[in-house]
């Protein structure tokens, strides 16, 4: 009978981690649906970017208040995992505070965990106030209605509950240590939970053990549940921020990717020695489609970007098109891409690993043409993103499809391209008159 709790814990751990691995496999499969792209260049710079941006949070602190609070929650999440490791070992081995023999080091760790837990609670409360009471503009945009808003709040509630369970567990443990209960030897420092322990004054040892064990079980089961909730939440960036910053764009912000087949054609046209009647190079494969109309036309880094989006709205708040009332929201571009990719993934699951055309696509069904053409390609969204997401690359690929596959550019843009072709400039003036302005006084 004494081993039943250990067996139950092992089963819960196996189920929790097993379901998490299943979600990771599905996530990996969906990302790999994207086209291949070579991002193996300049590895030292990529490792540096990951260390600075994902680990060092350098782009978060551009906005000091939100940045500082996020760092508190982030550090709390990382460090308290040490405490989770102890809980797992205790649950499997039937021990209690297995790291207690570390002595003063253990006291320091537990004390640090408690202070961080309190700071996390404070930060989460401030986050909730900013979202729901102050209602900052970037949190009340149209794309944040419904599930995105509920998801953000649910995460805040979960984090508060997990921290309170941790402190309650420690408070009951501290009280049991003071009463000399069996298996509750003096271990750890409790700078926060010692005040919670005062709420338990007068309770019997059996009741204290019930409180401590209940909080212990709810805390670890809550962490396992939250781990599996990540796949369905914007908090997936906890796992993906590191690879996303590693594979982030290294080129200058104003440099766009060109279609190789088009580049080669232009070079051929500009080569005076080229034979215009020569047979096409058989080794040069033309693309099946120019640009992108659906998620399967995007590359896997762009799909990784979509899953990494934190929905923080910094990109949208910096977007000049959005600021002037245009329909475009870079955050929505990423959320729509992720939603469509999830829909494609479910389609594949339902059809035994094959995608069956469903009559829908990213263009028009999720992202409108008005949104795409509102973009000024200024790269403000790319610069603002704290985890190196590039919404502009998706916008440009979808524009490329509209122009090169459907000839569906806005009339103003078609006029400009016609002028470039005929006059060598975007203005409707004869080439001979292009410099007349310079002679005017």
The string of DSSP codes covering 25-90 is HHHHHHHTTSBP----S-HHHHHHHIIIIIIS-TTGGGSHHHHHHHHHHHHHHHHHHHHHHHHHHH
What's the mean pLDDT when you consider all of the chain?
A: 89
DSSP designation for 299: B
**Cα 305 to Cα 338: distance, rounded to the nearest angstrom:** 9
* Domain residue extents for the chain: 4-31+63-235, 260-432
Place of tokens 């069904």: 365
Q: Would you say residue 155 has pLDDT above 70? A: yes
Q: Give the residue among 9, 404, 441, 49 at the shortest CA–CA distance from 248.
A: 49
What pLDDT score was predicted for residue 285? 57
What pLDDT score was predicted for residue 263? 83
Place of tokens 């016609």: 418
What pLDDT score was predicted for residue 378? 93
* 193-214 pLDDT tens trace: 999 998 998 899 999 999 999 9
The string of DSSP codes covering 205-262 is HHHHHHHHHHHHHHHHHHHHHHHHHGGGSGGGHHHHHHHHHHTS--S-TTPPPPPHHH
What pLDDT score was predicted for residue 277? 66
Give residue 66's pLDDT band: very low, low, confident or very high (50, 70, 90): confident
Give me Rg for the CA atoms of the chain: 28
Q: What contacts 145, CB < 8 A, 6 or more positions away?
A: none
Q: Would you say residue 161 has pLDDT above 90? A: yes
CATH code, 260-432? 1.10.1060
What pLDDT score was predicted for residue 276? 65
What pLDDT score was predicted for residue 1? 61
What does each C-alpha distance from 71 to 51, 54, 79 come to in angstroms?
14, 11, 12
What pLDDT score was predicted for residue 283? 60
* 393-425 pLDDT tens trace: 999 999 999 999 988 888 888 888 888 888 777
**Cα 86 to Cα 80: distance, rounded to the nearest angstrom:** 10
Q: What contacts 194, CB < 8 A, 6 or more positions away?
A: 171, 174
- What is the rounded average pLDDT of the residues 9-20? 94
């Amino acid at each position: 009978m004494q081993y039943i709790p250990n067996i139950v814990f092992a089963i819960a751990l196996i189920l929790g981690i097993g379901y998490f691995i299943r979600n990771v496999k599905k996530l990996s499969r969906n990302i790999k649906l994207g086209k291949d792209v070579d991002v193996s260049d300049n590895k030292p710079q990529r490792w540096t970017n990951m260390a600075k941006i994902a680990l060092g949070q350098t782009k978060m602190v551009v906005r000091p208040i939100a940045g500082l609070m996020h760092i508190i929650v982030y550090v709390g999440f990382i460090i308290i995992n040490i405490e989770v490791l102890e809980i797992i070992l205790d649950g499997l081995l039937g021990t209690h505070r297995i790291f207690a023999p570390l002595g003063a080091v253990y006291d320091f760790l537990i004390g640090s965990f408690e202070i961080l837990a309190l700071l996390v609670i404070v930060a989460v409360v401030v986050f909730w106030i900013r979202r729901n009471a102050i209602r900052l503009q970037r949190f009340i945009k149209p794309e944040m209605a419904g599930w995105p808003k509920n998801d953000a709040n649910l995460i805040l509630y979960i984090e508060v509950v997990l921290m309170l369970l941790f402190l309650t567990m420690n408070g009951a443990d501290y009280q049991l240590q003071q009463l000399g209960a069996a298996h509750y030897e003096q271990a750890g420092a409790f700078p926060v939970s010692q005040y919670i322990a005062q709420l338990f004054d007068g309770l019997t040892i059996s009741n204290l053990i019930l409180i401590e064990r209940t909080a212990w079980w709810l805390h670890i089961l809550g962490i396992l549940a939250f781990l599996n909730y990540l796949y369905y939440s914007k908090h997936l960036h906890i796992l993906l921020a590191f690879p996303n910053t590693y594979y982030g764009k290294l080129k200058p912000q104003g440099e766009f990717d060109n279609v190789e087949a088009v580049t080669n054609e232009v070079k051929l046209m500009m080569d005076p020695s080229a034979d215009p009647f020569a047979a096409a190079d058989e080794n040069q494969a033309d693309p099946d489609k120019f640009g992108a109309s659906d998620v399967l036309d995007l590359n896997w880094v762009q799909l990784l970007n979509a899953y990494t989006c934190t929905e923080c709205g910094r990109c949208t708040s910096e977007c000049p098109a959005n600021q002037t009332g245009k329909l475009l929201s870079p955050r929505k571009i990423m959320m729509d891409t992720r939603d469509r990719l999830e829909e494609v993934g479910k389609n594949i699951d339902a059809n035994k690993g094959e995608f069956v055309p469903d009559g829908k696509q990213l263009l028009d069904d999720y992202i409108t043409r008005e949104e795409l053409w509102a973009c000024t390609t200024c790269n403000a969204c790319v610069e603002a993103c704290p985890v190196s997401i590039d919404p502009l690359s998706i916008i440009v690929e979808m524009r490329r499809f509209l122009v090169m596959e459907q000839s569906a550019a806005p009339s103003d843009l078609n006029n400009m391209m016609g002028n470039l072709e005929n006059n060598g400039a975007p203005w409707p003036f004869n080439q001979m008159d292009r410099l007349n302005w310079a002679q005017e006084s």
